[in-house]
Amino acid sequence: MSTQNTRRVVVTGMGVVSSIGIGEQEFWSSIKQGKCGIEQAKTYDIEDLQIKIAGEVKDFDPKEQGLSKQFLMADRYSQFAGIAARQAVEQSGMEMPLSPEKGIRAAAIIGSGVGGIGTLESSYHALFELKKRATHPLTLIKTIASSGPAHVSIEYGITGPCFGVVSACSTATHSIGLVFNMIKQGVIDFGLGGASEASLAWGTTRAWQGMRVLSPDGLFPFSNKRNGTVLAEGAGILMLEDYEHAVERGANILAEIKGFGMTADAADMVNPSIDGTAGAMEMALKEADLPPADIDYINAHGTATMVNDINETRSIKRVFGNSAKDTPVSSTKSMHGHALGAGGGIEAVVCLKAMEENFVPATIGFEEPGDECDLDYVPNQGREAEVNHVMSNSFAFGGLNAVLIFGPAPA
């Protein structure tokens, strides 16, 4: 086994649950077609809400997904995590459940921005509106934001590091980055990293409405008609491995993680800082040992809020310099919506598929560019192009920034 000083980290599996498909094939087909999963919400009461649209996972039935009993008793967010983790495990070809010797060398770092808030909201409704004397006995277990990774660890015998990361909209990217670093440092040999989110509910929407950052019309990143983001749900999880570990067991290697950067703005809870976002991109490029011109595609955070899209564009220009205008940048949130903590995991799957098929996905719903939004945002129609290195940006409320760079599988 390689030492921590020379360890390279590769991806051998991926799983995704989203408003435009469950599983990489359905999801990627929708991405290539420019399909939009944002529509009128159906899983919660919208009658007295100003915002009535969301990126819901369609016709979701956990029993039909073949989840084990422990997941059937869990919150929706844990169920999404279970499905995405299973996809990643199956694609990796890893023998599960793990033996005790292998289990201690594995990790399940699966975060969530808010955990089981759907369970919490329904419990409050039962207590305060329906005047019930008690909630379901598993309410606490279903609600906590570490229940998702705990369920996954039980399912697969993962006895090494297991916990949930919370960093708002950067959660999944931070989680993947932590597994990446653990493998590099020799703490583990492989692990699942990503996030899951199922926060679509009446109360959650009311809270977001109060911040006036949601659009009643759709999610239109970098466009002059953008007027806010659209909440969504789902999960994105990757199986990461030490390169030599993957080779020894004959795994199919999908890509290599070349670099990871994370910073904090330390400035404002809502308004992003160009120093923080640009700094995370620069850090990832430095670790990857790549000049900006070698990045073939940037999957932008691209939330379609007025401030974020301008700040991200400015950050890309600062970091990429003269090559910024030649680098395709798109926000696939325009299709699957903003899945909050899970966003970076879902978008990591986009990045891996873009490399696999040499296809740059579009930013749909794009009309005229917004003020200061003057890059190549791949408007409305994806395109074929050689894609060897990709950057994935996640920038969260509180100024919490995380960036990943993926490259081709080692030769």
Instruction: Quote the tokens at residue 338.
Output: 């903003």
What sign for the dihedral angle of Cα 260, 266, 272, 274? negative
Determine contact, residues 255/8, Cβ cutoff 8 Å. no
Distance CA 189, CA 198 (A): 30
Determine contact, residues 53/218, Cβ cutoff 8 Å. yes
Hey, which residues are catalytic here? 169, 301, 338
Determine contact, residues 14/87, Cβ cutoff 8 Å. yes
Which residue in 210, 202, 206 sits closest to 44, CA to CA?
Answer: 202
